[in-house]
Amino acid sequence: MDPRGARREPTMRDVAALAKVSTKTVSRVINDLPGAGPDVVERVRAAARTLGYRPNLTASSLRRSDKRSATIGVLFEDLSNPFDAALLRAVEDRARQTGVLVLAGSSEDDPDLQRELLTSLATRRVDGMVVMAVGGHQDALQQERERGTPMVLVDRPPTFGGTDSVTTTNRDSSRDAVLHLAALGHRRIAFLGDRQTLWTSQERYTGYLEGLAHTGLTLREELVRTDLRGPDAAQAATTALFDLDEPPTALFTAQNLVTVGAMRTLRHHGLHRSVALIGFDDFPLADMLEPGVTVLRQDVPALGRRAAELIFARIDGDQSPPTHAVIPAALIQRGSGEIPPPHDQVGAGRGAARTARSRSDTGP
Amino acid sequence: MDPRGARREPTMRDVAALAKVSTKTVSRVINDLPGAGPDVVERVRAAARTLGYRPNLTASSLRRSDKRSATIGVLFEDLSNPFDAALLRAVEDRARQTGVLVLAGSSEDDPDLQRELLTSLATRRVDGMVVMAVGGHQDALQQERERGTPMVLVDRPPTFGGTDSVTTTNRDSSRDAVLHLAALGHRRIAFLGDRQTLWTSQERYTGYLEGLAHTGLTLREELVRTDLRGPDAAQAATTALFDLDEPPTALFTAQNLVTVGAMRTLRHHGLHRSVALIGFDDFPLADMLEPGVTVLRQDVPALGRRAAELIFARIDGDQSPPTHAVIPAALIQRGSGEIPPPHDQVGAGRGAARTARSRSDTGP
DNA sequence: GCCCGTTACGTCAACGTTGACGTAGGAGAA
DNA sequence: TTCTCCTACGTCAACGTTGACGTAACGGGC
């Protein structure tokens, strides 16, 4: 195919020589700048075409005064997670409109890895970054920000000042989920959550507490299981819940993988039609399970779009005070969240208010 | 945060001035090259630290003899598709080991968009590309390849020579699926597939035909529905199948979104326990549906790893003949593919051979 | 003492491109 | 005519870095 190794890419100088003009004139033609006559333009274009010339963006961005690399960095937790993937796609779509490409990386929720990727992006002089911060301290992010790198945090807000963020109504929506369950008469609502170092987990837990408080329910410590990393941990925790003397009649699972684990256990014990479940984060096929899974659905494309808009505004020099956009999540009723508690469990005066399994949508 | 705009990034010259050495010496220290005394090394390191110096990779790769940008391009169809996302992640993991970052883009199966992204990557002088080719002609890819850009195609092989590829056992696995269904006694097995311009779709259809041929079944044109783009088209096609005088007793859905659409229809008509279904591509929660969905599971991490290994070998100058790696897909029996045909439909002498719903795994 | 090799630096130019500025030639106004 | 202005180029240096090469100082062997 390419017998003697990769051949040298043609440069402006090659084009200039062939078209018998100076490199500067080639530069003018390539960049559609004025100052080149029609005949010269045509000669240069022809020369570039025959040589297969393509400008070298790295050289150009080195020299240009604005130093733009037309590249942004995206640093999420795990690009194979559907949530992260959808977010990346939304950012990418917006970036493409401006001719900007995306350097993507997974931080694995590991501070060291995040720091490493951060400097990796920085040495490539990206124009800005969209970051899902790892749990714990955000020193590395703050330092990067203080150097002047445009940055937008998604899913989790900054613990430091002066930086834009886009998040979901974690707390309010979680509270709504609990209120929804309580309105059906549930009194023993369990909380299953991800690592408590994550801001989203904390917020969702706080929303859970608010929900309990609003309906006069008391917090039962044994119904709260946090720091569940992945479906297996969630599965084990759910099993433990049903070994209790007084097991929960409803579950609020505060993260998508946790939801999956809990559902597995419910099915395993044949409880999926009798124990109510509401999960945070929608997932494909949630409507095709029996019962359909009631979820709080985040508007992921909107999150991504907003994050992209913010970062590009900053890159373009927007100096206005930092924005903290909050995108509302919606409660999608599919059945699992509308299961009432067993009759002997219904609290005084709080009858099941809604029709169970009121399928209100067509799918995720 | 940054009152007078982004401040200038410190350069080697700044570090050199502070450490009172030449820029060349700074270069030596930064790159851990010999030729700098211990005291000088320390002085330079200290200076770099106080200034917050970080090397400019674009400048460095411009000057370096190997011209490496330590960046590869990944061009898939849709980064928000779980298959693509998992693939990206696998490539990214391998790339990170070498300090290489990934520029990612979605081609949307649009030749123009693919060409655009291709040149976008080329102007950034990526060291190589991992590409999921769009359907139809591959001129743009071939041209890029002929310029000498290292390239590996994933999921779909090149229509031109001299280029590595990594694919799945599309044909053989599809045939196995049909054989599996036929062994249960099914005689009317429908095929539902994605766009026929895609190589994978063609292969899977060919496998379907081989399966029919191996078992002596005759192809019924009305049971074949192709060019289904997305779940909605699949849903409509499935509905049409069951409006036939002799509807199918089993479905082979040759793409993951098609599987979802078909399942929706089966459920809608209450047929999901009586009509057999095998889908190509696994998906989350396939085991939690009732019945569990029997699928051909591609080994996505293996696909990604292999692709990454190949591209890095080429980047490192490997000149051996092109490799066409084929990663085997596995039939995961979960129930839906083990549903036998109704009694009056069983063909002569071909009784249901296996136990239906022989759950053989724990989940996707 | 001298020569040689080695180490630790420095100098210079170049990678591919563009900003700043210079200049030749022609059109138009005085 | 002569001066001015504009257009269409060209020249030069610089972006931040590194390869090629130069050189001063030192140590060791004779």
Burial label, A88 (beta-carbon count in 10 A; 0-12, 13-18, 19+): buried
Check CB contact under 8 Å for B161 and A124. no
CA of A38 to C1' of C25 (A): 17
Q: Which residues in chain B are closer than 8 Å to A14, comparing Cβ atoms?
A: none
Residue B72 near chain A (CB below 8 Å): no
State which residue of chain B sits closest to A283, comparing Cα positions. Answer: B284
Residues of A in contact with B363 (CB under 8 A): 264
Mean pLDDT of A181-191: 97
Answer whether any strand D atom is within 7 A of the Cβ of B11: yes
Rounded to 10 degrees, the C-alpha dihedral B338/B339/B344/B346 comes to -10
Q: CATH for A170-299+330-345, among 3.40.50.620, 3.50.50.60, 3.40.50.2300, 3.40.50.1110?
A: 3.40.50.2300
Q: What is the pLDDT along chain B (364 residues), one digit of tens a residue?
A: 443 345 689 999 999 999 999 999 999 999 999 989 899 999 999 999 999 999 999 999 999 988 899 999 999 999 999 999 999 999 999 999 999 999 999 999 999 999 999 999 999 999 999 999 998 889 999 999 999 999 999 999 999 999 999 999 999 999 999 999 999 999 999 999 999 999 999 999 999 999 999 999 999 999 999 999 989 999 999 999 999 999 999 999 999 999 999 999 999 999 999 999 999 999 888 998 989 999 999 999 999 999 999 999 999 999 999 999 999 999 999 999 999 999 764 444 333 333 333 334 444 4
* Interface contact flag, B92 A99, Cβ < 8 Å: no
Cβ within 8 Å, pair A2-B58: no
pLDDT at A297 over 80: yes
CB < 8 Å to B279, chain A: none
Strand C and B21 CB separated by under 7 Å? yes
pLDDT at A345 over 70: no
Find which of B80, B153, B271 to mutate to test the A interface (most A CBs within 10 Å of its CB): B80
The separation, in Å, between residue B23 CA and nucleotide C12 C1' comes to 12
Helices A300-315 and A82-97: crossing angle, nearest 10°?
A: 40
Mean pLDDT along residues A300-323: 96
Three state DSSP letters for A53-103 = CCCCHHHHHHHCCCCCCCEEEEEECCCCCHHHHHHHHHHHHHHHHCCCEEE
Equal CATH topology for A71-167+301-325 and A170-299+330-345: yes
Give yes or no for CB of A13 within 7 Å of strand C. Answer: yes
Calculate what percentage of chain A has a pLDDT beyond 90: 87
A7: nearest CB among B102, B122, B148: B148
Strands A101-106 and B101-106: antiparallel
Q: How far away is chain B from the Cα of A102, in angstroms, using its nearest Cα?
A: 6
- Substitution target in B77, B164, B288 with the highest count of A β-carbons within 10 Å is B288
Between helix B38-51 and helix B12-19 the angle, nearest 10°, is 120
Q: How far apart are CA B300 and CA B305, in angstroms?
A: 9
State which residue of chain A sits closest to B304, comparing Cα positions: A80
Q: How far is CA B162 from CA A13, A133, B332, in A?
A: 30, 42, 35
Helix (H, G, I), strand (E, B) or coil at A183: helix
Contacts of B86 in chain A (CB under 8 A): 80
Chain A contacts of B104, Cβ < 8 Å? 88, 92, 102-104
Instruction: Flag whether pLDDT at A204 surpasses 90.
Output: yes
- Say what the pLDDT of residue A290 is: 86
pLDDT digits 0-9 by tens, A72-128: 999 999 999 999 999 999 999 999 999 999 999 999 999 999 999 999 999 999 999
> Phi and psi of A223, rounded to 5°?
-95, 5
Distance from CA of A58 to the nearest CA of B (A): 6
CA B172 from centre of chain: 19
Distance from CA of B54 to the nearest CA of A (A): 6
Q: Which of residues 293-322 of A touch B (CB under 8 A)?
A: 317, 319
- In angstroms, the CA A68 to CA A128 distance is 10
Mutate to test the interface with A, among B8, B54, B68, B124 (most CBs of A within 10 A): B124
Measure CA of the first residue to CA of the last residue in chain B; give whole Å: 47
Return the SS3 of A144: helix
Q: How confident is the model at residue A321 (pLDDT cuts 50, 70, 90)?
A: very high
Give me B126's structure tokens.
Answer: 């990526």
Q: Does B54 touch chain A (CB under 8 A)?
A: yes
pLDDT at A17: 96
Q: Is the CB of A113 under 7 A from strand D?
A: no
Domain B170-300+330-345: state its class: alpha beta
Integer CA distances (angstroms), B224 to A56, A325, B180, B247, B264, in order = 49, 48, 18, 12, 18
| Closest Cβ opposite residue A62 in set B59, B92, B263 | B59
CB B313 within 8 A of CB B331: no
At the topology level of CATH, where does B12-55 sit?
434 Repressor (Amino-terminal Domain) (1.10.260)
Asked if CATH classification 3.40.50.2300 holds for the domain at A71-167+301-325, the reply, yes or no, is: yes
Interface membership of A260 toward B (CB under 8 Å): yes
Which residue, A143, A239, A252, A120, is CA-closest to A189? A252
Establish whether the CB of B49 is closer than 7 Å to any nucleic acid atom in strand D: no
Q: Which nucleotide is nearest to B54 (CA to C1')?
A: D16
Instruction: Label residue A260 exposed, middle or buried (CB < 10 Å: 0-12, 13-18, 19+).
Output: buried
A39 C-beta neighbours (distance < 10 Å), count: 8
Answer whether B349 touches A (CB < 8 Å): no
Q: From residues 58-97 of B, list those within 7 angstroms of strand C by Cβ.
A: 59, 62-63
- Residue A17 pairs with which residues in a beta bridge? none
Strand D bases within 7 angstroms of protein beta carbons: 7-12, 14-20
Q: Distance of CA A286 to CAs A137, A259, B95, B187, Å?
A: 35, 11, 34, 32
Chain B residues with CB inside 8 Å of A316's CB? none
Instruction: Supply A254's token pair.
Output: 């505060």
Å from A254 (CA) to C10 (C1')?
62
A226-to-A50, A186, A233, A238 alpha-carbon distances in Å: 64, 21, 10, 11
The pLDDT assigned to B5 comes to 47
Which residues, in sequence order, are CB contacts of B72 under 8 Å at separation 6+? B91, B95, B100, B101, B102, B103, B126, B127, B128, B129, B130, B311, B315
Give the one of B79, B92, B267 whose C-beta lies nearest to A85's C-beta.
B79
Residues of chain B in contact with residue A89, where contact means CB-CB under 8 angstroms, are: 78-80, 106
DSSP three-state, residue B272: coil
- Interchain contact A229–B (C-beta under 8 A): no
Side by side, the strands of the sheet bearing A294-297 are A224-225, A189-192, A250-253, A276-280, A294-297, A330-332
Q: Does A78 touch chain B (CB under 8 A)?
A: yes
Q: Is B99 on the interface with A (CB under 8 A)?
A: yes
Show the tokens assigned to A159: 């613990």
- Residue B2's pLDDT is 40
Q: Letter for the amino acid at B293? A: V
CB atoms under 10 Å from CB of B5, counted, come to 9
Strand order in the sheet with A164-168: A324-327, A164-168, A151-154, A128-131, A71-76, A101-106, B101-106, B71-76, B128-131, B151-154, B164-168, B324-327
Strand C: which nucleotides have any atom within 7 A of a protein Cβ? 7-12, 14-20
Q: Give the H or E element holding residue A307.
A: helix A300-315
**3-class SS of residue B234:** helix
Q: How far is A37 from chain B (nearest CA, A)?
A: 26
Cβ of residue A66 lies below 7 Å from strand D: no
DSSP state of A359: -
Q: Residue A72 and residue A154: Cα distance in Å, rounded?
A: 14
- How many other C-beta atoms can be found within 10 angstroms of the C-beta atom of residue A169? 19
Determine which of A79, A91, A277 to mutate to test the interface with B (most B C-beta atoms within 10 Å).
A79
Higher pLDDT, A348 or B328: B328
Query: Under a CB-based contact definition with an 8 Å cutoff, are residues B183 and B216 in contact?
Result: no
Q: What share of chain B is helix, strand, coil (3-state, %, to 5)?
A: 40, 15, 45
Whether residue A7 is predicted with pLDDT greater than 80 in this model: the reply is: no
Structure tokens at B22: 């030449």
Query: Taking the domains of chain B in order of start, what are their residue ranges?
Result: 12-55, 71-165+301-325, 170-300+330-345
Count of residues for chain A? 364
One CATH from 3.30.1330.40, 3.40.50.2300, 3.30.70.260, 3.90.1150.10 for B71-165+301-325: 3.40.50.2300
Candidate from A59, A61, A89 with C-beta closest to B106? A89
Which nucleotide, over all strands, has the C1' atom closest to the CA of B62? C15
Structure tokens at B188: 């009317």
As to burial, measured by CB atoms within 10 angstroms (0-12 exposed, 13-18 middle, 19+ buried), residue A63 is: exposed
